[in-house]
Amino acid sequence: MEANPSANGRLCLSLFIFTLLCLERSAGFYLPGLAPVSFCEENSETDNCKSQIKLFVNRLDSVESVLPYEYDAFDFCKDEHEEWASENLGQVLFGERIESSPYKFTFKKPETCAKVCTKTYTTKDKIAALEFMKKGIELNYQQHWIIDNMPVTWCYDVEVGQKYCRPGFPIGCAIAEDGRIRDSCILNNQFNKKNTFYLFNHVDIIITYHSGNGENWEGARLVSARLEPKSYKHTKNNLNCDGPPMEIPQKLTGDLDVIYTYSVKFQENNTIKWASRWDYILESIPHTNIQWVSIMNSLVIVLFLSGMVAMIMLRTLHKDIARYNQIESSEDAQEEFGWKLVHGDIFRSPKKGMLLAVFLGQGTQIFIMTFITLFQACLGFLSPANRGALMTCAVVLWVLLGTPAGYVSARMYKTFGGEKWKSNVLLTSFLCPGIIFADFFIMNIILWQKGSSAAIPFGTLVAILAMWFGISVPLTFLGAYFGFKQRSHCLLAIEHPVRTNQIPRQIPQQSFFTKSFPGIIMGGILPFGCIFIQLFFILNSIWSHQMYYMFGVLFLVFIILLITCSEATILLCYFHLCAEDYHWWWRSFLTSGFTAFYLFVYAIHYFFSKLQITGTASTILYFGYTLIMVLIFFLFTGTIGFFSCYWFVKKIYSVVKVD
């Protein structure tokens, strides 16, 4: 069921209340994914109940390569009447290519060692296809199959009494020339010949269903699909699913026949509800318990530090305000000191004000987009079952939020005294999106050259450009128009509580800790500590192809990140003002924005310590996409820090009376 964000606030509130009531009354209500499908036996079909179960195949990916490939790129069995599933924008951007397969089953009709197709390789024909297959085995490429919009999982023991269910299974495995066992070959002691590849040409599939007894639906519903990949050396006249493994030699010296087979059986299990059929996959993800414990510890620490920062700020600022007001009311008040000395320069326009305004507009657009996307993910509309929905939602929201970007950018630029409104709105529309698109286009050229399924088709690129130029840019111009024409008493008022002196005040010599660069470096440490743990699992989901589903925790960390960025920036801004340094505009943006630098450093550490990526193309792609993520995060956190500091400065200089 798809959920589209509504522009009507009342409708959004009604939807939220209705969702809460539904969740309260029925904990098993299943928001994401497709509508349930009922299955029945072959001779009992109706309009609402079908007997044929279709198996779809998705792209193949690897933890050792950033390049995913379509199923058709490998010489597997093809469907004679190939069907392509409709894909949303997010699936295309992620390189998912879902198509039909020749594996088709009849409900409750078991099959044993059924033949799918035969592939023949000779020394003169299809050598390239066989070599590509061996390269895929060497890089541990994984197949991804789908039944009833549910991944077909491969479950195996990782510890005593604990299973890990992976939504994918390898093409095969290999034994190195030195006898070293690689990847899945460790699971079978028959895989023991040196310098040999073993192809998984057989699968044992178990489909579990809920019969519908005691429920209000017709027929049965599938609740899980598991398989176990195996390797058998069949002959054309004898399908033997209990024989030696299918070997692919390092060098082909004669004809080689590869026969693909499968076995399928059905199991009834009425204890698993259809709404909870993903639970066994999510609960088996490694480190889930460790993640929860670490997240709770992190949240407690961050909340404690945030409380301490807030308490220090309130107590210190309260004492300062009381002291300054007391001195002004006394007859012997002689001289101002501290942050009150710079009241005549505190709102002096910064250097490169247009660039700062452009960054703030883009950061506002990203902030609103992230907030709405995470909120919908918390409600379950963007779960892993709804493939590509997360990216689709984010891209569509970004396009539609051009108006806030243009408004904030124009408003802040006018606050800085800028008059080149055309340059401002053009930079807001094209600078940061242009950098991201140029990086993305370069990455796409590499993907095109490698024949990867992640390469965006030309038509999709044109559609993205049409959304950018046809929707986002006009909306940005509209927001900029209102930003420049808006009266000062509205949002982001231009009037300041104190006047700016004509002659800038000289800034005294600063100590090491009150200089800009050390403060900026220290400012990003605490916000990065908020996202450190979540960042690890997000990177795992992107590069190690693990499912991420705890969006409620992510949303909580998102809120704490906002609070921490705000408090850290305000605290350092206050210290600099007390040191009579009034250059706070850019410093407030860079203080929290420097969190992106730590993110980039951690991404480098993650690449060298956690990943097994090989090849120049994969390395370029990893760091190319990482730079996009770092830029977006820089704009997001920098904007949060800036507006927090902007509010703080206006607040204290409006409370304290100054001459």
Q: Which residues pair with 210 in a beta bridge?
A: 221
Q: What is the pLDDT of residue 381?
A: 80
Q: Is the pLDDT of residue 345 over 90?
A: no
**Alpha carbon distance 39, 207 (integer Å):** 12
First to last CA, the chain: 62
Q: What is the pLDDT of residue 243?
A: 82
The residue ranges of DSSP E strands in 64-195, in sequence order, are: 65-69, 99-106, 111-121, 142-143, 145-147, 150-151, 154-159, 162-166, 169-170, 172-175
**Alpha carbon distance 202, 174 (integer Å):** 17
Q: Which residues pair with 111 in a beta bridge?
A: 264
Q: What is the pLDDT of residue 8?
A: 37
Q: What is the pLDDT of residue 191?
A: 84
Residue with tokens 């490998």: 74
Q: Is the pLDDT of residue 155 over 60?
A: yes
The mean pLDDT value for 124-150 works out to: 89
Runs of H (alpha helix) within 97-218: 127-138
Q: What is the pLDDT of residue 3?
A: 37
SS (H, E, C) 566-633: HHHHHHHHHHHHHCCCCCCHHHHHHHHHCHHHHHHHHHHHHHHHCCCCCCHHHHHHHHHHHHHHHHHH
Residue 440 — very low, low, confident or very high, per pLDDT cuts 50/70/90?
very high
Q: What is the pLDDT of residue 164?
A: 81
Residue type, 613: I
Residue with tokens 């197949």: 143
**Alpha carbon distance 410, 484 (integer Å):** 6
Residue 517 — very low, low, confident or very high, per pLDDT cuts 50/70/90?
confident
Residue with tokens 């995470």: 374
The mean pLDDT value for 601-628 works out to: 91
User: Of the ranges 178-182, 211-215, 376-380, which one carries the lowest mean pLDDT score?
Assistant: 178-182
Residue 29 — very low, low, confident or very high, per pLDDT cuts 50/70/90?
very low
The mean pLDDT value for 522-536 works out to: 85
Better-predicted residue by pLDDT, 192 or 487: 192
Q: Is the pLDDT of residue 88 over 70?
A: yes
Q: Where do the domains of the chain lie?
A: 31-284, 348-495, 522-659
Q: Is the pLDDT of residue 535 over 70?
A: yes
Runs of H (alpha helix) within 265-287: 279-283
Q: What is the pLDDT of residues 618-642, one digit of tens each?
A: 999 999 999 999 999 999 999 999 9
Supply 230's token pair: 């195996």
The mean pLDDT value for 601-619 works out to: 90
Q: What is the pLDDT of residue 293?
A: 65
Q: What is the pLDDT of residue 656?
A: 61
The mean pLDDT value for 206-235 works out to: 89
Q: What is the pLDDT of residue 215?
A: 79
**Alpha carbon distance 99, 227 (integer Å):** 19
The residue ranges of DSSP E strands in 231-375, in sequence order, are: 247-249, 256-268
The mean pLDDT value for 640-657 works out to: 83
422: alpha, beta or left? (left if phi > 0; alpha if psi -120 to 50) = alpha
Q: Is 355 exposed, middle or buried (0-12, 13-18, 19+ CB in 10 A)?
A: middle
324's enclosing H/E stretch is: helix 288-329
Q: What is the pLDDT of residue 324?
A: 64
Better-predicted residue by pLDDT, 640 or 575: 640
Q: Is 440 exposed, middle or buried (0-12, 13-18, 19+ CB in 10 A)?
A: middle
Work out the widest C-alpha separation in the chain, in whole angstroms: 110
Residue 162 — very low, low, confident or very high, per pLDDT cuts 50/70/90?
confident
> Are residues 471 and 93 in contact, defined by beta-carbon separation less than 8 angstroms?
no
Q: Is the pLDDT of residue 418 over 80?
A: yes
- Radius of gyration of the chain from Cα atoms? 30
Q: What is the pLDDT of residue 6?
A: 36
484: alpha, beta or left? (left if phi > 0; alpha if psi -120 to 50) = alpha
Q: Is the pLDDT of residue 157 over 90?
A: no
Looking at residue 213, the DSSP 8-state letter turns out to be T
> Are residues 360 and 409 in contact, defined by beta-carbon separation less than 8 angstroms?
yes
> Are residues 216 and 154 in contact, defined by beta-carbon separation less than 8 angstroms?
no
The mean pLDDT value for 367-373 works out to: 95
182's enclosing H/E stretch is: none
Q: What is the pLDDT of residue 336?
A: 55
Supply 103's token pair: 């594996």
Chain centroid to CA 315: 39
Q: Which residues of 255-274 are buried (b: 16+ CB within 10 A; e: fewer)?
A: ebebbbbbbbebeeeeebeb
Sign of CA dihedral 442, 448, 454, 458: positive
- Other beta carbons within 10 Å of 609: 7
Q: What is the pLDDT of residues 89-111, one digit of tens each?
A: 888 888 888 899 999 999 999 99
Q: Which residues pair with 225 in a beta bridge?
A: 207
Q: How many CA atoms lie within 13 A of 133 on its CB side?
A: 25
Q: Is 438 exposed, middle or buried (0-12, 13-18, 19+ CB in 10 A)?
A: exposed
3-state helix vs strand vs coil in the chain, percent to 5: 50, 15, 35
Residue with tokens 């942050």: 339
Q: What is the pLDDT of residue 326?
A: 66
User: Of the ranges 106-110, 191-195, 350-354, 546-550, which one carries the lowest mean pLDDT score?
Assistant: 546-550
Sign of CA dihedral 209, 211, 217, 218: positive
CA distances from 287 to 92, 216, 607 (A): 30, 37, 19
